[in-house]
Structure 1
């Protein structure tokens, strides 16, 4: 992946109390409506360890124009409608990736690192 043109979208989603597990299952089930778009480079779902019911979704795109094209598509509207019943609020941030540093560790686990030290 070249970072020169990677456009990243980060969503912060507040999920209604008691619906987190169902939200996660639904997000996984409908995720291919995003990742099957030819301009999408992948997406991640993360649960906050600091805030109850808060999730972050990070999605990478080849560029902003292609993301905006997706954002206004029927495909995206349908995807949003499936997740909307779980949301109580949220926010979106967009950014350009300017650098990426690949991991350089040659040891696979923390225990192996300790043994090698």
Structure 2
């Protein structure tokens, strides 16, 4: 299956829209990597200024290789000014259930 990375980011008040635009602008640093299976940005419905970034990778070694790469350093640097805190968790997807075709 996939190796999943989830970031929780606390964004400084008042710069949320700029953060979202910057994420869209620099996101190709991740999705352009052949080991990346996709990424998603979500805004918390419960906490002001909290965002989650979820990205899926073909495996952990390829993610770790990307994590040390120059494109990732540039991506992090572009988003860092908007952050006031954050954390990262990693996991291996063990099962996936997707809906069947609906009539």
TM-score by length of 2: 0.97
For the aligned residue pairs, the C-alpha RMSD in angstroms reads 0.8
Shift of 1:54: 0.1
Query: In the aligned structure 2, how far is the partner of 1:95 from the partner of 1:57?
Result: 14
Q: Are residues 1:88 and 2:81 paired?
A: no
Aligned length: 103
Map of 1:114 onto structure 2: none
Structure 1 alignment gaps of length 5 or more: 108-117
State how 1:72-87 maps to structure 2 within 5 Å.
72-87=68-83
Structure 1 segments of 4+ aligned residues over 2 angstroms from their partners:
none
Q: Are residues 1:71 and 2:97 paired?
A: no
TM-score by length of 1: 0.86
Structure 2 alignment gaps of length 5 or more: none
